[in-house]
Structure 1
C-alpha cells in the first residue's frame, strides 16, 4: 500500500515558538556539512521554502552573498534554484540524477512531519580526491565539542560525494577489488590529518619501482591500481591545550565549572581538615617528644622544624595548597584531551565507521539490483584496515560492532581444524566486504585486552581478519607513559594501564645465539618480560605478524643498546629530542626528523614502504608477503616475526 506524499503549502511560514531554533538548526547543518551532499541539499531545500526569519541580518556569504531564504512558491522554483547553485553539474552528476521534484517533495514531507533528522541521519560524509580518483576521505559528522564547528576538507582537493550511495556506485562501476581504510590516533584534529592524508595519497599513487625490470610488477613497490581504493577516516579528535573547544567549554558553561570547583573544593577541604587534625593533634605532639633528646633537639632547632610545622598547622596552609594542586591536576588532564579523545574514539568514531561499512555494503548491493550495466554477481571486495595509536582501539571496537551486526563466529576450534572456506565466510562483514589485513601501528591497546577472559568479544571480532600486522616500538615513550597516566583511574587493572600493545618489541630467545627465534617482550621501566604467557588462548597472539621498529630513525633519536638500566635514559633522551624537534626554533629544525609515536607514516621511511607493500599487493598468499617483507627490511634494524614461525 503506497502512501501519498504531499509537500506542505509553499511558501512556508515560520512558527513563532520555534523560528529561532529551526533557523539556527538549518544554518548549523549548512555550516557543518559538505556542500551538495545529501544533508546539505535537504537543508537548503527547506531554507528555500521560507522567507528570512525575523531579525535576520546575517545573510550567507558562502554562495555569492545570496540570502539562503527564498520563500519559493513551488517545487519547480526550488529545483531551478538548486540547479543554479550547482557549480558544475557534470562533476556533481549524482546530484543531477538524484535531485528532482520527487526528491524535494520527500525532503519537505520529512521536515513537515518531524522526520527530518531521520532523513539526513547519516553520521559520516564521503569525499573524493580530485587528484586521485581512487582515493577517498570519510569524516564523522560528530564535532569535537558541542560549541565547536567542524572543519571540512579543502574543496579544491576533495569533492564531496552526494552520499555513500555514490561511493557504492563508483565501487561497482570501477570493479573495485580492494579497499584500504586508514585512521589516525590521539590528538589529530582535521587540520593536521587532512594534509597528512593527502601526502600519503600522493605517495601511494606514485609509481616508484624497486625492481629494474618494469615488467615484473610482483617485485615492484608500485602504485595502487585503479581497482584498489585508499580511504582515510577522520573521527573527531582534538588538539591538546590549543583546541578552541576546550576554552569554549569553560566560557559557555561557567555554572558547571563552578559546580566542579565546589565539589573539588569540598573534597580538598575534607581531606585537608583530616590532615590538619592529624598534624595538629598527633604528629606535632609526638615529634615534640624528641625535643628532649639532645641530638634531636639540636637538629630540631637548626631546621626550625617545630616553628614551621606549627605555622602550617595554625594557618591551615595545607588546605589551599592541596586544593590548588588538585585544580591544576584535574584541569591538566582535561586540556591534554587524552581521555576526551578516548571517549570520542569509542563512542563516536567506532559507531560512525561501522555505519559507513554496512551502508557501503548496502549501497553496493543496491547498484547490483538497479544498475543496468553492473554485473549480476559482484566479486567480494577485500577490506584492509590501518589504525594508528588510539585509532587502532577504534578499529577493534568497529570490528566488534560489525561482528555483532553480521553474526558472531567465535571460531573456537583447534588451529587448522577448520576449512579455509569456513574461515573465508567468517571474514565477511556484509554481502560484499571481506576483512583481509589489519595493520596496527603503535596501537594504544592494553596488552591484556586480547587475553582470554578480558574482552573476549573483541578477540572474536579480530579473529575475523585473515592477517594481522603489528608495527610496534619499545622506544615509543609517548605510548609508554601517557596511557599509564591517563588510564590509571579507569583501567580494570594496573597492568592494563601500564602495558600497551604498541610497546611490544622482539628479542632473541637466546641472546648469545644470533639464529635463535625472536620472542615478543614488553618493558616496564628497568625490567622486561614475555609479552604474553602461552596458554590455551594463545592463538590470537600467534596470528600476529610482529614488526619491531624500535631502532629505526623515524621513531627513535637515541642510538643506544637497550639494557636493564639504559631504558629510562633512552626514554628521557627521546622525549627531550621530540620536544625540541617540535619547537618552532632554528634548533628544532636542525634536528633529524623523527616522531616517537607517528613516524611510521613518514612517506620516505621503510615502514611506510612496508605499509604500501601490504595494501598494494595483489597476492593473497601470506607466505609471499612475508618473503617480500624480508627482502624489504634486509640490512635494516627492523626485526620481523611472521605469524607462522611458532606454528611449526
Structure 2
C-alpha cells in the first residue's frame, strides 16, 4: 500500500527579524500559497525551481525561528510587567503578479524596514509587529504561450474557429459575415485567456482566500501556543487585555481577495456578532426593515463595530488599506448594492487610495468586469480605485479635511457624477462607519508617478488619460516612471505613508504620521476623512 503525504497549503519563504535576531520586535515575512497555477499540477511549480528551492527548503526553519522569537518576546514582556500586544499586518498583491515579482516587492519593503531599524533599536515599541507579504497564485499575462492555450481549448471553441474559417473563406455575402463574426468571437475568447484576468480572479477566490484563512488560523494557533502565562491568555480571550491587532494592505485585485477573506474569517453565527441584525427592527430583523438603515447613534455604532471586529479568540480587526481597489464603486455606497458593507464596517480605520487616471482600472478592469458585474449604466460599472475628490486642484484643495460622500465623484468619458446624485448611486452623505479617501491623482514627489499632469478641468482630463496611458505603455520599455496603477509604491513619500498607516494608523502615540497637512499639500495629495455620522448630530 502506498501512503501519500498531504502537501502543505502555505510556505514561509522569507523571514527577517528587526532590529536583530537576538532582540527582535519586528518580523518581516514572505508567506506563499502553494496552490498551482494550473489544476493539473499538484504543487506550485515556481517553488520547485532553482530560484525558490533554497527558500522553500528553509520553510520549517523560518517558522521555528518565528515561534522562538514570539515565545521570547512574551516571556520578556511578562518579566518586565509591560502591556504586551502582537500586531499583524498582511500585505496582499494584485493581479498579474507572479511569485518572482512578489519577492521583489518583499525586498523593496525589506530595504525600507532596514533603514528604519535604527529607530527600533533606540526606542523599541511595546508591541511585536508581524508584517506578512502574502503571495497568492497569480499568473503573468501571456504565461504558458500559444501552444498551452491551444491545447486547453474546449471543443466548442475549436468548432467555432472551424465554422468561422469555413464560412469566412469559402462563402460569400451574409454567410461570410457570419463566419467573420465567429472568428472574431473566438479570437476575443483567446485574448481573454491570454490576459489571465478571469483566471487570476478564480484563483484569488478559490485558493488565495482560503489559504489566507489558513494562514490567519495558523498564527492564531501559534500565539496561543507560545504564550507561557495561561492567565494572560484567558484575559486576552475575555477582552481584559487588548486583542491582537489584525490589519490588511491590499492592492488592485488583492483588495477583492482581502474583502472576501474578511467575510470568510468572521463568524457570522456568533451571538454577539449577529446582534446587529435586529438592532434596526426588533420584530422582523433583516426581513422587514430597510436593507441598509443609517445609524447615527455613535456610541451604539462603536460598540457594534467592536463586536463585529472580533475574529476568533484573539484577533481584532484594526486597519484596512485599499490601494487601487479593483472592486465595484458601490462598495462605499449606502444602497443595497453595497455587498461589502458587512466587511468594511468591522475595521476601526479604513483608508482608500484612489487615482482618477488609473488607466488599468478605467479601461482594462472595467472592460473585463462588464461581462460579470450587474451594472445597468456605464459609470455604474466603474471601479472603486477610480474615485476622485471634488475640487482637489483648487485653492486649498490639497491636504487633509473632514468631508462626506457628496465630495466624492466619478469622471466618465463624457460626464462627471457624484456618489450622492439622484439618478445612479443615490448615496447618503454618511455610511455609518469612518472612511478615509486619499486622492493621489496629482501626486508629485520630485517627479510624477501616477499621472502625466494635473488636469484642472474636464477638457484636460481626456488628454491626461491619453498621455498617462501612453506613458504606462512606455514604462514597460523602461522609458517612463509613470504607473497609474502601481505607482503608489514607487514614490518615497506615498510608500512611507502607506506603510505608516498600516503599522500605526492615522493617529498614534508611537510616531507622528509622515502625512502632515503641509506634506500632503507639498506632494499634491488630497485627503478627506469621512466620519461615521453627521458631525454635531446628537
Structure 1 length normalisation: TM-score? 0.64
Q: Residue 522 of structure 1: SS of its match in structure 2? A: strand
Q: Which residue of 2 aligns with 1:570?
A: 464
Structure 1 range deviating more: 358-367 or 528-537: 528-537
Partner of 1:313: 173
User: Equivalent residue for 1:531?
Assistant: 419
Distance 1:448 1:631 in 2: 32
Give the 3-state SS of the residue equivalent to 2:321 in structure 1: strand
Alignment counterpart, residue 138 of structure 1, candidates 21, 26, 31: 31
Task: Report Cα offsets for 1:393-432 as digits up to 9, x if no partner.
Answer: 1100001101246744474643403175553333121211
Q: How does 1:17-166 map to 2 (within 5 A)?
A: 111=3, 116-117=5-6, 120=7, 122-130=8-16, 132=18, 134-147=27-40, 149-152=44-47, 154=52, 159-161=58-60
Q: Deviations over 1:510-538 (max 9, x none)?
A: 96886997611111113211134586865
Q: Distance in 2 between matches of 1:563 and 1:180?
A: 39
1:455 Cα deviation from its structure 2 partner: 5.8
- C-alpha deviation, 1:441, in angstroms: 0.5
Which of residues 249, 260, 272 in structure 2 aligns to 1:397?
A: 260
1:621 to 1:227, Cα distance in 2 relative to 1, 3 A: closer
> What are the equivalent positions in structure 2 for 1:350-369 lying under 5 Å apart?
350-368=209-227
Give me the whole-angstrom Cα distance separating, in 1, the residues matched to 2:433 and 2:414.
26
Cα gap change, 1:156 to 1:562, in 2 (>3 Å)? farther
Question: 2:16, 2:29 within 8 Å by CA — same for their partners in 1?
Answer: no
**Equivalent position of 1:200 in the other structure:** 109
Secondary structure, in 3 states, of the residue corresponding to 2:311? coil
**Alpha-carbon separation, structure 2, partners of 1:188 and 1:225:** 35
Distance 1:435 1:429 in 2: 7
Distance 1:427 1:545 in 2: 18
- Superposed, 1:534-553 pairs within 5 Å as 539-540=430-431, 543-553=434-444
Q: Contact between 1:177 and 1:227, CA under 8 Å: does it hold in 2?
A: yes
| Corresponding residue number in structure 2 for 1:48 | none
2:157 is the counterpart of 1:260: yes
Could you tell which deviates more after superposition, 324-333 or 186-195? 324-333
CA 1:166–1:347 in structure 2 vs 1: closer, same or farther (change >3 Å)?
farther
* Distance of 2:256 and 2:160 partners within structure 1: 33
The 1:457–1:328 alpha-carbon spacing in structure 2 relative to 1, beyond 3 Å, is closer
More displaced 10-residue stretch of structure 1: 606-615 or 417-426: 417-426
Residues in 2 aligned to 1:224 and 1:333: alpha-carbon distance in whole angstroms:
48
Please give the residue correspondences for 1:623-642 in structure 2 after superposition, counting only pairs within 5 Å: 628-642=515-529
In our comparison, the structure showing a higher alpha carbon Rg is: 1
| Aligned mate of 1:611, from 478, 485, 498 | 498
In 1: Cα distance, 2:505 partner to 2:415 partner: 42
Shift of residue 625, structure 1, vs aligned partner: 7.2
Displacement after TM superposition at 1:613 (Å): 1.9
Counterpart of 1:179? 88
Higher RCO structure, 1 or 2 (CA under 8 Å, sep 6+): 2
Q: Are 2:385 and 1:502 equivalent residues in the alignment?
A: yes
- After the TM superposition, which residues 282-361 of structure 1 pair with which residues of structure 2 at under 5 Å, given as runs? 312-313=172-173, 316-361=175-220
User: Do the aligned partners of residues 247 and 258 (structure 1) sit closer, same or farther apart at CA in structure 2, a change above 3 Å counting?
Assistant: same
Given that 2:311 and 2:317 are in contact with CA atoms closer than 8 Å, whether structure 1 keeps it comes out as: yes
| Worse-superposed segment, 228-237 or 531-540 | 531-540
Q: 1:206-285 to 2 correspondence within 5 Å?
A: 206-207=115-116, 227-241=128-142, 243-244=143-144, 247-248=147-148, 250-251=150-151, 253=152, 256-263=153-160
User: Whole-Å Cα distance in 1 between the matches of residues 356 and 476 of structure 2?
Assistant: 21
Kept in 2: contact 1:144–1:245 (CA 8 A): no
Aligned length, in residue pairs: 473
By how many angstroms is 1:386 displaced? 0.2
Q: Give how far 1:380 is off.
A: 1.9
1:406–1:429 contact (8 Å) kept in structure 2: no
**Partner of residue 597 from structure 1, selected from 453, 477, 485:** 485
Q: Secondary structure in 1 aligned to 2:390?
A: strand
* Structure 1 residues 224 and 330: CA distance shift in structure 2, 3 A: farther
**Residue 208 of structure 1 contacts residue 223 of structure 1 at CA under 8 Å; is this kept in 2?**
no
The 1:463/1:189 distance shift into structure 2, 3 A limit, reads same
* Deviations 1:164-201, CA, capped at 9 Å, x for gaps: 78756644543452111101001001111111222112
Cα displacement (A) at 1:464: 0.8
The 1:352/1:463 distance shift into structure 2, 3 A limit, reads: same
Contact 1:165/1:363 (<8 A) preserved: no
Say if 1:414 and 1:164 are closer, same or farther in 2 by CA, change over 3 A: farther
Instruction: Name 2:311's counterpart in structure 1.
Output: 429
1:230 counterpart SS class: strand
Question: Which residue does 1:6 correspond to in 2?
Answer: none
Aligned counterparts of 2:213 and 2:191: Cα–Cα separation in 1: 32
Q: Structure 1 pair 640/450, CA: closer, same or farther in 2 (3 Å)?
A: closer
Q: Secondary structure at the match of 1:438?
A: strand
SS in 1 for 2:100: helix
Query: Which sections of structure 1, spanning at least 5 residues, go unmatched?
Result: 1-14, 16-21, 23-110, 274-310
CA contact (8 A) 1:471 1:547 kept: yes
**Counterparts of 2:389 and 2:124, CA distance in 1:** 31
Q: 1:150 to 1:170 in 2, by over 3 A?
A: farther
| 1:469 CA displacement | 0.2
**Within 1, Cα distance between the matches of 2:112 and 2:371?**
41
Aligned to 1:558: 452
How far has the Cα of 1:491 moved from its partner? Answer: 1.0
Counterpart selection for 1:439 from 314, 321, 341: 321
Residues 567 and 177 of structure 1, relative CA distance in 2, 3 Å threshold? same
